[in-house]
Amino acid sequence: MKEEYKGGTFKITDYLSPSYVNLNNPKYIEIDGVYYTCLIVVDYLREQNDLILKNIIETNENIYVSIYYEKQDTYKVIRDLTYNIGNVGVDLEKIGESRQDAEIAAFTYNDAKYIRREMQINNEEMYFIYTYITVFSKMKKELEEKTNKIEGILRSQGLITKKAYFRQEQTFMSCMPFMDNKQDISNVSRRNILTSSLPATYPFISSTIFDETGIFLGTNIYNDSLVFIDRYNREKYKNSNMCIFGTSGSGKSFFTKLMILRSILLDLDQYVIDPDREYTKIGNYLKGSVIKIGPSSDTYVNVLDIREESLEENQKGYLSTKISKVLGFFNLLLGKIDENEKAILEQKLIKTYNQKGINFNDKSLYKNKKFKTTMDMPILEDLYNNLEGKMKTKLLPFIKGSMKYLNKHTNVKLNNKLIIADIYELGEENIKYGMYIFTELFWDKIKQNRKNKKSIYLDEIWQLIGVTSNKEVASFIYKIFKTIRKYGGSAVAITQDVSDLFSLDNGIYGKSILNNSELKAFFNLEEENLKVLEQYSNLSSKEKIEIKSLKRGECVMFVGKEHILTKVESSNFEKNIVGGEEN
């Protein structure tokens, strides 16, 4: 008893209740230092073609919206409508000279006939709808500004509102989750609506993506909701591929590096083609392998290597698979070659591999029951010695000239969870060779184990599928995007040159990659690139305007059917790792 006396009669409801409520002002309610003012929607447009509450919900202002629906008895409604139609019909005959009265009566008459027809013929049902909106703020002046803003937005949507002066308490209580539609205000706010029009009043329309097993990518600019995406969610997304487009300085590379950093949490195998030396810092921090090829590098990758993982278990045809892929590389290197030259080159490749004891019998790739190493493989010079004429001359710079670093046996280990392919030193003219060599290498790694989640990032992908490339190479890249899903993988296309992406064969390869990417992030783009992109994607007019006006670090994100205006968010800790807000 003593303890109960000391404790008093304080119940759990007392913890939840406010410490004070001020109802003295007819314009607002004050509860624990927060001011609330309520609006009653008293009228709507006769016809609505859009979600009527969409614009106020996307303002991200502090509001409560409460909507009540009351289903009406169909028989009684039709009876009352028939009675009303008869009376108004008589009135229309008697109105005479008053044009205004005639118009009002005609509207009422036609509306009543329309509602009755819909209920009788199309099995529509009638509801009464009551809509209340509460705006709140910690400052009275700000409350007034926000209220005027909300009223203006509602008017633009054809919703007429009335401030709930002297009825603030009743309206506020109707906005609470008590299902208590106060009679004092319901008579003012009641309007009728048919079943087919109910979806227009649906309030939960602001797009949000929150995958429980996903990584954090940013916030929805409209409503500040968090955007978490697990692009490997096979139940939700058709594939894990992604396109990241944006001008220099828009934030696309920073966004990509954040994805790489956060994807470590998913234990991904990640492979990055880095033509601009942007990913070295994050690669070193995450203890990944940074492989550089170029005139000053001492690391090499042999384009003629046949790797054991290039075929899956129970598959056959190591040499034929390799030749089909390496022909794409020589298409880049030698320029466009005709079918006759292609046949000659294929025969010379077969001869070169035969000289190393490798033929179309897969057993020839094994020595002492172990797969042959890179030292057992031919290099470009071995092929050069078998060539003649124009093709031999074109290959000379790669054997004895400025590109001789490609004429080496592979001397790097490729067993890291993160591998960065630094091809910056190749220069603008030769960068496509390095991109192809590493793409082919990483593709073999991706096929190695279907159970592991993995991702390949192709920065400046236009080099491989644009006009500077060729059909064989572009087809190889498209194959990666089309089939990587079955290997548990994700291909990410990154570029600032959108027009170049669609420049080969009337854009067929760029379009295929775009269509085979379930996720898309469009950062700020110039008008020229937007016009090209518009031809190959379902951008709305509003989204085109938004993309042109995006600030650094903002993007329009397509996630399946959802289109979300997103702000990329990062901590200072992450910025230090990825190298600040780079382009």
Here the tokens at position 31 are 């509860």
Task: Choose among 259, 224, 226: nearest CA to 240.
Answer: 259
Please tell me whether residues 390 and 421 are part of one structural domain: no
For residues 232-236, average pLDDT: 91
CATH number of the domain encompassing residue 352? 1.10.8.730
pLDDT at 198: 86
| Degrees, nearest 5: CA angle 473-252-236 | 75
Distance CA 49, CA 51 (A): 7
pLDDT at 562: 84
Does 461 or 413 have the greater pLDDT score? 461
For residues 485-503, average pLDDT: 93
Give the whole-number percent of the chain exceeding pLDDT 70. 94
Q: What residue has token string 């490749």?
A: 349
Residue 165 pLDDT level (bands cut at 50, 70, 90): very high
Classify the phi-psi angles of 357: left when phi > 0, otherwise alpha if psi is within -120 to 50, otherwise beta: left
Here the tokens at position 396 are 């000379």
Residue 582 pLDDT level (bands cut at 50, 70, 90): very low
Distance CA 62, CA 41 (A): 18
Domain range for 470:
239-293+412-583
Distance CA 283, CA 496 (A): 22
Residue 225 pLDDT level (bands cut at 50, 70, 90): confident
pLDDT at 331: 87
CB neighbours of residue 15 within 10 Å: 7
Question: Is residue 262, in this structure, part of any structural domain at all?
Answer: yes
Please tell me whether residues 575 and 432 are part of one structural domain: yes
| Degrees, nearest 5: CA angle 320-324-325 | 120
pLDDT tens digits along 532-565: 888 888 888 878 888 999 999 999 999 988 888 8
Distance CA 330, CA 406 (A): 13
pLDDT tens digits along 385-429: 999 988 999 999 999 998 999 999 999 888 899 999 999 999 888
pLDDT tens digits along 140-163: 999 999 999 999 999 988 899 999
- Predicted TM-score (pTM) of the model is 0.73
pLDDT at 93: 67
Please tell me whether residues 428 and 569 are part of one structural domain: yes
Here the tokens at position 216 are 């954090």
pLDDT at 7: 55
Please tell me whether residues 285 and 368 are part of one structural domain: no
Tell me whether strands 269-274 and 454-459 are parallel, antiparallel or unpaired: parallel
Report whether pLDDT(214) > 80.
yes
User: CA–CA distance from 218 to each of 47, 153, 263, 532 (Å)?
Assistant: 37, 27, 14, 27
Please tell me whether residues 479 and 568 are part of one structural domain: yes
Q: What is the mean pLDDT of the chain?
A: 89
Please tell me whether residues 553 and 506 are part of one structural domain: yes
Here the tokens at position 422 are 């630094």
Report whether pLDDT(21) > 70.
yes
Report whether pLDDT(211) > 80.
yes
For the chain, the domain total comes to 3
pLDDT at 583: 43
Question: Is residue 534, in this structure, part of any structural domain at all?
Answer: yes
Which range (292-296, 313-317, 431-435) has the least confidence? 313-317
pLDDT tens digits along 72-131: 999 999 998 888 888 777 766 666 555 566 667 777 788 888 888 888 888 899 999 999
Which range (41-55, 156-170, 495-509) has the least confidence? 41-55
Please tell me whether residues 311 and 360 are part of one structural domain: yes
Q: Which domain-ending residue is among 201, 228, 257?
A: 201
pLDDT at 567: 94
8 A C-beta contact, residue 226 and residue 216:
yes
CATH number of the domain encompassing residue 439? 3.40.50.300
Please tell me whether residues 462 and 384 are part of one structural domain: no
Question: Is residue 276, in this structure, part of any structural domain at all?
Answer: yes
Residue 3 pLDDT level (bands cut at 50, 70, 90): low
